[in-house]
């Protein structure tokens, strides 16, 4: 949330267009953590997330003139770029993760209770990472980044109804993956 | 409790867990080197800014070019009649002068000619073109080899284009 005393995003974009270095730096510091967390959740890799942050802001630097504040908020615009990059990069990153690197976790009868501890947050993150991208991204945007449906729809370039249905379906899939099944460890099940 | 109610409870717990996860990740951000790299890119793209390092070569080449023009004119007007020790004309390509610089030229360039040094540099032809020095690139590798006569005060007294095979001092 922007402080009332601080310059707004459109004002900073305008100043950056005029070549003001500090304005661009201010925009970066205001939004980079959100883009980073989104990219990290999408790809599961801190290093790749940093690459994405850099590429997102390089794209903004390059196309400052193209950004139209009347069409979308700057963060929404940045998430849109990050989303495309993350989807592209996630494919190559996933190929590098083997099952050997996956930590075994204990089974819980009740999936809700299983989510209480920090270790379970890791499991949740892993299961989330195993969802198909179209469901994963909508959960990350709505439930982790707390964007509203309209902003999420703008990031994904889909109707709001699609956001709602994907969110519902994605949550169901996530719950399904968190439930114990057939004696197969959840950690491995999440990667299937 | 029916399936639907059970699902709602589970879903609420899931949302609560996702919120907890979001809180855990609240402090995560890209490390400072990412910002440093971006701001360097900003400086490079805009050609200005505090982070931009001054280029030693550009002023050297400008001074050298001015000195060469002045030396050529003075030499001709003074009746020397010899071909001035300038580099080739832009677009002609590298010229190899067998006696560059001559002892007369050195004496003219500096009162202490023995203090002059020749520096062989390899620069991007695009960088030179951006400064107004359009030189041909016979090797096609985007690089141009130059020999610069540098005095002890750090200023260039002469410059010429040389082939890449020229010795490096």
B46 to chain A nearest CA, in Å?
7
Same domain? A27 vs A56: yes
ipTM above 0.85, yes or no: no
Residue A160 phi, psi dihedral angles, 5° rounding: -60, -35
Same domain? A88 vs A4: yes
Same domain? A72 vs A122: no
CATH of the domain at A49: 1.10.1740.10
Q: Which domain holds residue A29?
A: 1-96
**To which H or E segment does residue A81 belong?**
helix A74-96
A28 touches chain B (CB under 8 A): yes
**Best of B38, B46, B51 to disrupt the A interface by mutation (most A CBs within 10 Å)?**
B38
The domain spans of chain B are 3-46, 57-162
Of residues A20 and B135, more confidently modeled:
A20
Yes or no, beta carbons of B22 and A146 under 8 Å apart:
yes
Same domain? A55 vs A120: no
pLDDT at residue A20 is higher than 70: yes
Same domain? A63 vs A8: yes
Asked if A148 and A74 touch (Cβ cutoff 8 Å), the reply is no
Closest alpha carbon to A139 in B27, B22, B23: B22
Alpha-carbon distance of A155 to B3, in angstroms, equals 34
Same domain? A2 vs A67: yes
Q: Scan for tokens 């001074």, then name that residue.
A: B63
Same domain? A70 vs A148: no
The long-range contacts involving A153-157, CB below 8 angstroms and separated by at least 24 positions, are A154/A72, A154/A76, A154/A80, A155/A76, A155/A79, A155/A80, A155/A83, A156/A80, A156/A83, A157/A80
Question: Which of A71, A96, A121 is at the close of a domain?
Answer: A96
A108 touches chain B (CB under 8 A): no
A169 touches chain B (CB under 8 A): no
Same domain? A121 vs A87: no
Same domain? A7 vs A48: yes
Length of chain B: 169
Same domain? A191 vs A125: yes
Yes or no, beta carbons of A53 and B30 under 8 Å apart:
yes
Yes or no, beta carbons of B10 and A175 under 8 Å apart:
yes
Yes or no, beta carbons of B34 and A50 under 8 Å apart:
yes
Closest alpha carbon to B146 in B126, B163, B129: B163
* Beta bridge mates, B122: B145
Alpha-carbon distance of A2 to B150, in angstroms, equals 55
Number of domains in chain A: 2
pLDDT at residue number A191: 44
Q: What are the per-10-residue average pLDDT scores of chain B (169 residues)?
A: 59 89 90 93 75 52 67 56 45 43 74 78 76 70 81 78 69
pLDDT single digits (tens) A31-66 = 999 999 999 998 888 888 999 999 999 999 998 988
């Amino acid at each position: 949330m922007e402080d009332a005393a601080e310059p707004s995003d459109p004002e900073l974009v305008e100043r950056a267009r005029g070549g003001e270095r500090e304005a661009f730096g201010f925009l970066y510091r205001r939004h980079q953590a959100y883009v980073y967390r989104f990219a990290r959740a999408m790809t599961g890799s801190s290093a790749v997330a940093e690459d994405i942050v850099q590429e997102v802001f390089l794209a903004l630097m390059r196309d400052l003139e193209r950004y139209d504040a009347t069409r979308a908020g700057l963060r929404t615009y940045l998430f849109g770029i990050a989303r495309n990059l993350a989807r592209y990069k996630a494919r190559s990153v996933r190929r590098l993760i083997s099952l050997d690197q996956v930590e075994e976790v204990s089974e819980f009868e009740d999936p809700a209770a299983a989510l209480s501890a920090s270790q379970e947050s890791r499991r949740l993150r892993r299961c989330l990472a195993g969802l198909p991208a179209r469901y994963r991204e909508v959960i990350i945007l709505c439930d982790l980044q707390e964007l509203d449906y309209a902003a999420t729809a703008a990031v994904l370039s889909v109707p709001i109804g699609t956001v709602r249905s994907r969110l519902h379906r994605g949550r169901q899939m996530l719950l399904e993956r968190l439930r114990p099944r057939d004696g197969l460890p959840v950690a491995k099940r999440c990667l299937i | 409790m029916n399936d639907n109610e059970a699902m709602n409870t589970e879903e609420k717990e899931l949302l609560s867990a996702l919120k907890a996860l979001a809180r855990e990740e609240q402090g995560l951000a890209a490390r400072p080197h990412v910002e440093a790299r971006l701001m360097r890119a900003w400086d490079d793209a805009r050609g200005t800014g505090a982070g931009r390092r001054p280029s030693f070569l550009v002023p050297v080449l400008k001074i050298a070019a001015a000195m060469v023009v002045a030396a050529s004119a003075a030499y001709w007007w003074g009746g020397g009649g010899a071909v001035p020790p300038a580099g080739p004309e832009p677009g002609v390509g590298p010229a190899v002068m067998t006696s560059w610089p001559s002892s007369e030229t050195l004496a003219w360039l500096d009162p202490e000619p023995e203090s002059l040094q020749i520096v062989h540099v390899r620069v991007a032809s695009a960088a030179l073109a951006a400064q107004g020095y359009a030189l041909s690139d016979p090797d096609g590798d985007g690089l141009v080899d130059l020999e610069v006569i540098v005095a002890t005060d750090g200023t260039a007294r002469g410059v010429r284009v040389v082939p890449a095979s020229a010795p490096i001092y």
